[in-house]
Amino acid sequence: MKKIIILALILLLCVLFSINVYAGNQLKLFYNNKFINLSQEIIVRGNEYFVNAKELTAVIGTSCKIDMSKKELTIKTADSTLHYDIKTYDYTIVDASSISHNFPELINQTVYLPFTFISEFYNVNIKYDKKANLLYFFPKDSKIESFANSKYYYTLKIPENLYLSLDESYDNFDVSSISIVNEDNTFSASIICDPVTKTTIKNMRFLLSDYDSPDNYIFDRIIEYKQSYFRSLMESYKNEFLFGNSDKLLSESNIKIIRDYSEKLYGQNSNIILFNTISSNKFINTEDTNLIITIPSYENETIYSLSFSMPKGTLDSRNISNIMQIIEGLTIDNLENQEKIPEVLYDRDSIEASNRGIYPNPAAHEKEYKLLEDTLNFYNIKYPSHYIPYLQNNFIDNHSYRSFKINHTTSFSVTVEHLVGTPDKIMNKINFLKSYYGSKIFVKNIKDENINGNSFTVFEYELENNYTKEFITNYYISNGIRVYTIQLKSLMSKPSEDVLTEFRKIVASFEFTTQQSQKEINRTISFVKFFNERNGYSIFYPDNWSIQDSSQDINYDLIEITNPNFSGPLSIIINESEYTAKLTATELLRYLTGYDSSLGKYFKNYITPYTNKTYKLLNSSIVTNNDVTIIYKLVNYIDDGDRYKMCYSIDLVKNNKINSLFISASEYLFQDGVLADRDLNYILEFMTKSFQIEEKEDDQINIAAVEEKNEKIVFIENSLKKVFGDPTTISFAKNLESEKDVLVYVSNTPRSGAYRIYFDYNHKAIQVVSRVLTSDIEKSAKEKMMDLLKDKYIHDLSINSYDMTITVKYSETSYSSPEIKTYYILCTPSKKGYTIDFVRKLDIQSVKEICKTFLDNQYLTDVQINLPKNYSYSNENGNKYFYEKRIIPIYAEFDGQSGHFYLEIDPVTDSVKILEYISSTELKEKIEEHYYLMDPTSKVESFQPAKLDNFSFDVTVTSQTDNMLKEVIYMYYDKELVFLSKDPYFSGILVQK
């Protein structure tokens, strides 16, 4: 419902500013610096425009004579008399776009001059605004000295060194937005006009539900709405800044407002914004300085915007002069002339700030410093004031992260963690990082260093990822249970000496502080305990908050804890998931932090608030407590509404089960990086500390845990047992259209079959909506299969009612080789009846046959296929339901060609499609791109399949930085092709159930 309201609002706003204000305007021609009214309209044939010949020649000072007997047009000018044949075409037969239109034409018994002819004959550059019905003839061989806009009531004297920007087409011209540039296009100016008509005001009244205020008041609200566009632009830039550097090219954008104020210009209260924008990636860095002046005119029913843009560092006397000449040369009807220079253009601080740019050169000016004080974690630290606040996540006190951007590729951060246990906490962190990154980490130095009386452990290392190299220096120091990490991170290349020197000053400024008095917290808050008996975890939450299961998958829990006062900005969920292999603590952390997606094949239902969204992991840590592994994460992300969110999570891992607490909060709940509501902070702290696995004796384990069934399914099963008897079991369960709409297969009872149930677990309500008995399912399934294969010869057909599958053996004819296929029977009851669907039952043999048959038919030849050497179908797909799609990696050879396919098999439709194909030639290009993105100086000298595996390669690479590198890389598909340093198909040990 919320999305529908937002969409409706957007549509209404589009209507507000998209009114056709041009309807009924008489055609006007601008020629020789004046407007001329034309009574005859322009006509169009194909891509060509035509003007009435007699009227045009008369108004621009020439004359023409038309002799229809000779089909000849004569034009007299001051210097010559020229004769032209009049062409005639039947445009019902002839394609107008295929004709050059270099001659006058007879159309509907009237002679017209095509734009092409006019442009050549009169030596003019023609521009036509179809909406405004304005036609411009600009001189080709001389500079355009002025521009007049009769639609928006202004004229502009164009400065001597600037030029009106015109493209090649006749009709791609819009008088509501014109641009002026200098000779080398390093300076540009635009005049943009937004019309505000009576209809626009009427539409705004509707949006505001304000039908009483005067029109000028509504006009002011429209101005505010227009200015909100800029705030939306800032939000967009902010997200691109915070979550940039995430793609192959390390793309990032940012915006910095230098000054935003109001000033009277042209006699109107105008808004002036001076700002810089920057777009960066690995190979280019473009920064511009921009000035936007918004001038409203109620009398002219128009909002004028003057926009100026130039490269960073060039807001100098020359370009300030250009801006002033345009402002002084602009005359707007009904407004005062502007002769005074806008204040921002003689504001030295603003001009210097814009010329320094978003990421100033630290050596080019005197630095000022800011003090970062963290009263919750008892430290402060100084940093240069031009460093830009970056990613922050501090709302749970025992984990804190603050970072600042130094330039496009470099940042520094301060992380605080509460670590209880052995005194060698810092070395444990270092060893954890080495284990986490494995072969991708290159340790440069580990040492102790005393700075300003503080004893730090320094850890310098380099990382390789799929897109770039990272150069990292960590300074560790501890104080009680707190471990502080001051980190400098640089992408692509080592940080400069200037950056390193400044970073050492930052570290030297670090000091511990003492606890200060804080706002009194409401200690009367009462908590209640929620205990999940099956999974063994508990959590306390305020007694006036609510808790419910909101899972869309009946096989797993998704517990939601809510408070109506924070329903929008705060989200608290506990998600249940599991994994199916014996994994180390490091492997667990690699997947749960998103570092190694190839391990996803072992995990079921690990769903986070940031799944399939843009996010960044800020920090993670892992603790082992007896047989429980605890993983903490700080993650920032963009939600479905493009809102910036901060997330704190705890994963409790035991016996291959994962129960995860996710607390997400919107940015506006914070002030100076911490939650503004200290009571809320206290509540969240209490909840996170109470989230734990409770120890219990073996004889306390309930039947649901023994049977590995979710307690919701057990509840349904027990309810049915009361009706059908104790032997009754549920063999399959699935949500249909909502969490309360459930399909279950009931077994071990005379009334076994498929049941559709209304199920409200939170209120313990259950009701059978409809059902189909097993005997009816079997009969219908056989009939449907017989009908599907009515053109085939069926050798055998059988049904296994225990696992609800149907197996059919058939062939094209009675004497041809038969095929055997097995399908799951998916029966979905409804109030009006039921449907039967077949879902292909897949195993490694059937998958090979499916892939080969598909490729044989695709290329009409015999295709030889191979899977990766260590590929295991059961491992790769053990986390999927039988009706989910599978991705199969295939190496194929056919007709002297070879390549790698990633095929998607859909068992529901029993179909295959190609997700990606990489030929042998493209493979070399992909490998070269992989190394080029990490180091542009790299060159792939050779590569070949490694150890009889066509999905791994022995590669030799040379570069200016690493000289020669020999390594094995592995090809893998994760929404796109990537190359990994370890085998993603390594067969882990599956947990037997």
507 vs 947 pLDDT, higher one: 507
For the ranges 144-153, 365-374, 613-622, 902-911, the lowest mean pLDDT is seen at 365-374
Residue 346: phi and psi, rounded to 5, are -120, 20
565 in a structural domain: yes
For the ranges 23-32, 793-802, 969-978, the lowest mean pLDDT is seen at 23-32
Residue 124: phi and psi, rounded to 5, are -125, 155
573 in a structural domain: yes
**671 and 532 fall within a common domain:** yes
Domain final position from 296, 330, 356: 356
pLDDT score for 6 = 32
Average pLDDT over residues 91-101: 86
Tell whether the model's pLDDT for residue 18 goes beyond 60: no
**685 and 538 fall within a common domain:** yes
Q: Which residues lie across from 811 on neighbouring strands? A: 793
Token pair, residue 266, equals 């042209």
Token pair, residue 874, equals 């059961």
**250 and 322 fall within a common domain:** yes
- At residue 454 the predicted structure's pLDDT band, cuts being 50, 70 and 90, is very high
pLDDT score for 767 = 94
Sheet holding 72-76, edge to edge: 63-67, 72-76, 81-85
185 in a structural domain: no
Residue 590: give the domain boundaries. Answer: 527-693
**203 and 352 fall within a common domain:** yes
pLDDT score for 518 = 57
Separation CA 571–CA 563 (nearest Å): 9
Tell whether the model's pLDDT for residue 742 goes beyond 90: yes
Separation CA 39–CA 464 (nearest Å): 71
Query: 3-class DSSP state for residue 843?
Result: coil
709 in a structural domain: no
**623 and 769 fall within a common domain:** no
948 in a structural domain: yes
pLDDT score for 62 = 86
| Torsion 94-100-106-108 (CA) sign | positive
**383 and 484 fall within a common domain:** yes
Average pLDDT over residues 373-395: 92
Domain final position from 298, 324, 356: 356
- At residue 14 the predicted structure's pLDDT band, cuts being 50, 70 and 90, is very low
151 in a structural domain: no
**CATH number of 540's domain:** 3.40.1000.10
Average pLDDT over residues 611-618: 94
Q: In 691-816, which residue ranges form alpha helices assigned H by DSSP?
A: 703-707, 711-724, 774-788
pLDDT score for 703 = 42
Note whether 53 and 113 are within 8 A (CB): yes
The pTM (predicted TM-score) of the whole model is 0.86
- At residue 821 the predicted structure's pLDDT band, cuts being 50, 70 and 90, is very high
Separation CA 626–CA 102 (nearest Å): 89
For the ranges 1-10, 482-491, 801-810, the lowest mean pLDDT is seen at 1-10
Each residue of 927-968: pLDDT tens digit? 999 888 888 888 999 999 988 889 999 999 998 877 788 889
**550 and 681 fall within a common domain:** yes
Which residue bears the tokens 């400024």? 509
pLDDT score for 960 = 82
**276 and 319 fall within a common domain:** yes
Burial (Cβ within 10 Å: 0-12, 13-18, ≥19) of residue 628: middle
Each residue of 204-254: pLDDT tens digit? 999 899 999 999 999 999 988 888 878 888 888 888 999 988 888 889 999
- At residue 875 the predicted structure's pLDDT band, cuts being 50, 70 and 90, is confident
Each residue of 554-586: pLDDT tens digit? 999 999 999 888 878 999 999 999 998 888 899
Token pair, residue 703, equals 């039947």
**934 and 831 fall within a common domain:** no
Q: Which DSSP string corresponds to 470-490?
A: EEEEEEEEEETTEEEEEEEEE
Note whether 590 and 981 are within 8 A (CB): no
pLDDT score for 521 = 59
**Residue 438: what residue type?**
G
Tell whether the model's pLDDT for residue 751 goes beyond 60: yes
pLDDT score for 161 = 93
Domain count, the chain: 6
**678 and 531 fall within a common domain:** yes
C-alpha closest to that of 742 among 818, 644, 829 = 829
Burial 226-253 (b: 16+ CB within 10 A, else e): beeebeeeeeebebbbbbbbeebebbbb
174 in a structural domain: no
**322 and 381 fall within a common domain:** no
Separation CA 73–CA 720 (nearest Å): 95
**CATH number of 217's domain:** 3.40.1000
**351 and 373 fall within a common domain:** no
Average pLDDT, the chain: 89
- At residue 699 the predicted structure's pLDDT band, cuts being 50, 70 and 90, is very low
Each residue of 185-201: pLDDT tens digit? 999 999 999 999 889 99
Each residue of 326-380: pLDDT tens digit? 999 999 999 999 989 999 999 999 999 999 999 998 776 678 899 999 988 899 9
Domain final position from 457, 483, 512: 512
154 in a structural domain: no
Residue 706: phi and psi, rounded to 5, are -60, -45
Tell whether the model's pLDDT for residue 708 goes beyond 70: no
Query: 3-class DSSP state for residue 829?
Result: strand
pLDDT score for 522 = 60
CA-to-CA dists, residue 306 to 228, 324, 560, 836, angstroms: 17, 11, 50, 65
